[in-house]
Amino acid sequence: MKTSYAPNPVGIDIERPQFSWELNGIRDGALQGAYQVLVSDNPELLEREEGNIWNSEKVTSPKAVGVVFEGKSLQSKKRYYWKVRVWDDPKLAGKWSAVSSFETGLLNQAEWTGDWVGYPFGWVGKVLYFRHVFLCHKPVDRARIYVSGIGYNAIRLNGAKVGKNVLDPAKSDFSKRTYYTTHDVGDQLKSENVMLISVAPGWYGMPKLKLQMEIVYKDGTTQQISSNDIRKVTLGPIVRSGILDGEEYDARKENFSQLDLPTDTIIKGLPNKTWGVAHIVESPGGKMASQHQEPIQVTETFKPRSIKQVKPGIYVLDAGENMAGWVSLRVKGSSGTQIVMKFAETVYSDGRVNQENLRTAEATDRYTLKGGDDYEEWEPSFTYHGFRYVQVEGFPYSPNAEDFTIKKVRSAVAENGKFHSSNPL
């Protein structure tokens, strides 16, 4: 069962969503002749076969995909429950399905309480880190974050990444439409909380953030946080990030041990010299729209097929196939040592990667070690590459396949079918 082509979606902004279902358990050879859909804002009502939001009654139709909701007006930020039954005999109704659900996002533009914020005073094109500390003094029932950070954004809440998506939001013409994503973060909240949002240039160029957080407590009271409440912004270890050129990360500039703690001296005092004050900036112009399409995620991880030294200190990984994605590395060494990874689809006769077809795109990731006795692990956050081969330079010792993990990245669409062929293609 799906609502607007997604199972149990959260944050949809469609006032008339569509329902779809697959037929299971009907007689062999039988077809759906009719259906009935019930929608309620209370699952207990569905148990009594009451649809207080919509009762389609019996509809004579074989349609099981794209059945349009025609009930009462939906409210923003609210969860609804639905179930369906079908007839494969004109007089005999089938059993009710299990209950499915959907949750609305912000259905009206006026419900966005926060403005776009950024820092237009000298960090143009840099990855910005926005930080906000807030308290929850009562038991939390649920909490949602509605966020758009363009070009790309990622959220850490109390030191943990929020969600599995990468490269959010989806690309659009920002002057017409800007996508936002919805995150369920109720389980990540504590009494004292730190939210750290990193925003990269991506396809936009000037990092901007728009965010709204809704916390509902078990006593029914609510708390709202918007991007206007987020006052602190700074730079971080991502010193350069570009879609075509790659990402550069300096681990010596990491300070997450401070940023993720609500009791550190930075948050108790006023912004110091390392912090700027986030300012309201110009909107990109487009309307805010919930991101309904499948998100981009890491869909597969594996070790390189081979690793060869093609020249002294220069190694080339073979992923075994052409793909979109990146490489996660594991390394230890002296502080300031820089690892360079160049991505390409082909290699020269001497084994080095051939980037001539990329024209001016660098397609290169760089990682600078913070140093120490422990292994350091890193992967880029706001870039991706089309590649099969990766040329690695600067490794402090001869690496092996265990030091690298290939990460394949794509839209997380479900597999709906496959076939086997006797032809090797």
- Residue 424 forms part of a structural domain: no
205: left (phi over 0), alpha (psi -120 to 50) or beta: left
Same domain, 248 and 351: no
Domain that holds residue 31: 2-104
Same domain, 387 and 346: yes
Query: Which of 237, 263, 290 is where one domain is finished?
Result: 290
Same domain, 142 and 252: yes
* Residue 84: CATH number of its domain: 2.60.40.10
pLDDT of residue 257: 64
17, 23, 25, 28: CA torsion to nearest 10? 160
pLDDT of residue 268: 41
Q: What angle do CA 204, 207, 208 make, to 5 degrees?
A: 105
Please write the tens of the pLDDT for every residue from 245-279: 999 999 999 877 666 666 544 444 334 567 889 99
Please write the tens of the pLDDT for every residue from 69-103: 999 999 999 999 999 999 987 778 889 999 999 99
Query: Which of 263, 290, 317 is where one domain is finished?
Result: 290
Please write the tens of the pLDDT for every residue from 315-337: 999 999 999 999 999 999 999 99
Query: Which of 62, 79, 104 is where one domain is finished?
Result: 104
Tokens, residue 403: 């030091």
Please write the tens of the pLDDT for every residue from 292-310: 999 999 999 999 999 999 9
Local structure of residue 96 (DSSP, 8 states) = P
**Would you say 363 and 289 are in contact if contact means Cβ atoms under 8 Å apart?**
no
Same domain, 71 and 122: no
Interval 195-221 mean pLDDT: 95
Q: pLDDT averaged over the chain?
A: 93
* Residue 242: CATH number of its domain: 2.60.120.260
- Residue 423 forms part of a structural domain: no
Same domain, 184 and 66: no
Same domain, 138 and 279: yes
Residue 28 predicted with pLDDT over 90: no
- Residue 205 forms part of a structural domain: yes
Same domain, 9 and 85: yes
- Residue 417 forms part of a structural domain: no
Same domain, 168 and 241: yes
Same domain, 152 and 246: yes
Interval 179-188 mean pLDDT: 97
Structural domain count of the chain: 3
Same domain, 272 and 397: no
Tokens, residue 36: 């009935």
What is the percent of the chain where pLDDT is above 90? 84
193/159 Cα distance (integer angstroms): 9
Cis, bond preceding 186 (omega within 30 deg of 0): no
- Residue 370 forms part of a structural domain: yes
Give backbone dihedrals phi and psi of 250, rounded to 5 degrees, phi first.
-110, 100
Q: Indicate the range of 17-31, 102-116, 343-357 predicted with least confidence.
A: 17-31
pLDDT of residue 74: 98
- Residue 418 forms part of a structural domain: no
Residue 26 predicted with pLDDT over 80: no
pLDDT of residue 273: 62
Same domain, 6 and 33: yes
Between residues 121 and 173, the one the model is more confident about: 173
Please write the tens of the pLDDT for every residue from 211-238: 999 999 999 999 999 999 998 999 999 9
37: amino acid identity, one letter:
V
The rounded Cα 242 to chain-centroid distance in angstroms is 18
- Residue 260 forms part of a structural domain: yes
151/67 Cα distance (integer angstroms): 35
Q: Using the structure block, give the residue that is written with the tokens 């994605």.
A: 325
Please write the tens of the pLDDT for every residue from 111-159: 999 999 999 887 777 899 999 999 998 999 999 999 999 999 999 999 9
121: left (phi over 0), alpha (psi -120 to 50) or beta: alpha
H or E element, residue 257: helix 256-259
- Residue 421 forms part of a structural domain: no
Between residues 206 and 416, the one the model is more confident about: 206
Same domain, 141 and 250: yes
